[in-house]
Amino acid sequence: MIMDLQKRKELKKKLYTIIFKTDTEEGKRFDIILLNVILLSVILAAIESVVAFNARYALPFRICEWIITILFTIEYATRIYCSPNRKKYIFSVYGIIDLLSILPFFIGILYSSTHYLIVIRALRLLRIFRILKLTHFLKEGNHLVDSLRRSVKKIMIFTYFIMILVTILGALMYLVEGSVNPSFSNIPKSIYWAVVTITTVGYGDITPITFLGQTISVIVMLLGYSILAVPTGIISSELIKPLRKKNITCPNCGENKHEADASYCKNCGTFLPHNNNNLS
């Protein structure tokens, strides 16, 4: 009985290593197979949505989907089984995604309309970032992620400003074009137009037809032109920043934002022993 428990524990540990760990040989192999199955499943869902294909090969598609979903369900169950901290896994981002990627299939049996929600499985592809963490992409990826994280706050202020601007522009265009141009028949549509224009997407499904409307559009475009430059500038400067300052902490005052070639603390004048290129 105890042996059995011991065995089960070992099995659990082994499964954990294969499924959750990414730095062992088996873990890596498992993850690569998993990623390919996810990719296959997403491609299948995409192809299935094409009517012509679907009609002809309805059965094989259905079977493939059944197989993949069963595999995913088994995997999900195993993950819960072998996880040392089940609650943590179930409510983690990856855990929720794993659940969401099998749920639509089972609901789809009852309500066929939700069937295509299985494409949510594409989210599971994000798992690649867990694997990449262990390769040489690590440094690059992290640097990128760090810079983006630092940019987020600034870009959010900026996006908030854009949203106010876009609301005002939308309302203005509604007043100018609304009465003669059915495309600008209400404010939400006009705001949609303003976003389409200011981001330089420019579908052309809603375009101004009056002279005043076109003049305002021209101003909006020239504005959007310069505005587009701001997030780029923010991210560029964040990406350049980390190349500047090393983390040298002053042993006296704790100041830790020194330049790479500083020998003395800029704040209190103490010698920085860390930087031993200078006086060795």
Q: Which residues within the stretch 30-89 sit at the binding site for a copy of itself (CB under 8 A)?
A: 42, 45-47, 49-51
Shortest distance (Å) from residue 85 CB to a copy of itself? 27
Angle at 234 between CA 228 and CA 236, to 5 degrees: 100
Q: Which residues pair with 259 in a beta bridge?
A: 245
Nearer CB in complex with a copy of itself: 36/214 = 214
Give the three-state DSSP class for 174. Answer: helix
- Residue 30 Cβ vs a copy of itself, minimum distance, rounded to whole Å: 20
The residue length of the chain stands at 280
Please identify, using beta-carbon distances, which residue of 78 and 185 lies nearer to a copy of itself. Answer: 185
Tell the smallest beta-carbon distance from residue 77 to a copy of itself (Å).
25
Q: Enumerate residues 90-149 that contact a copy of itself by CB under 8 A.
A: 116-117, 119-120, 122-123, 125-126, 128, 132, 137, 140-141, 144, 147-148
- Mark residue 259 as left, alpha or beta (left: phi above 0; alpha: psi -120 to 50; beta: remaining): beta
Who's near 91: CB < 8 A, 6+ residues apart?
A: none
Cα angle value 90/92/97 (rounded, 5°): 80
Of residues 141-170, those binding a copy of itself (CB under 8 A): 141, 144, 147-148, 153-155, 157-160, 162-164, 167-168, 170
**Would you count residue 1 as binding a copy of itself (CB under 8 A)?**
no
What x-and-dash track marks residues 198-237 binding a copy of itself by CB under 8 A? -xxxxxxx-x---x--x--xx--xx-xxx-xxxxxxxxxx
The site that binds a copy of itself (CB under 8 A) totals a number of residues, namely: 106
d(C-alpha 74, C-alpha 109), whole Å? 18
> Would you say 95 and 89 are in contact if contact means Cβ atoms under 8 Å apart?
yes
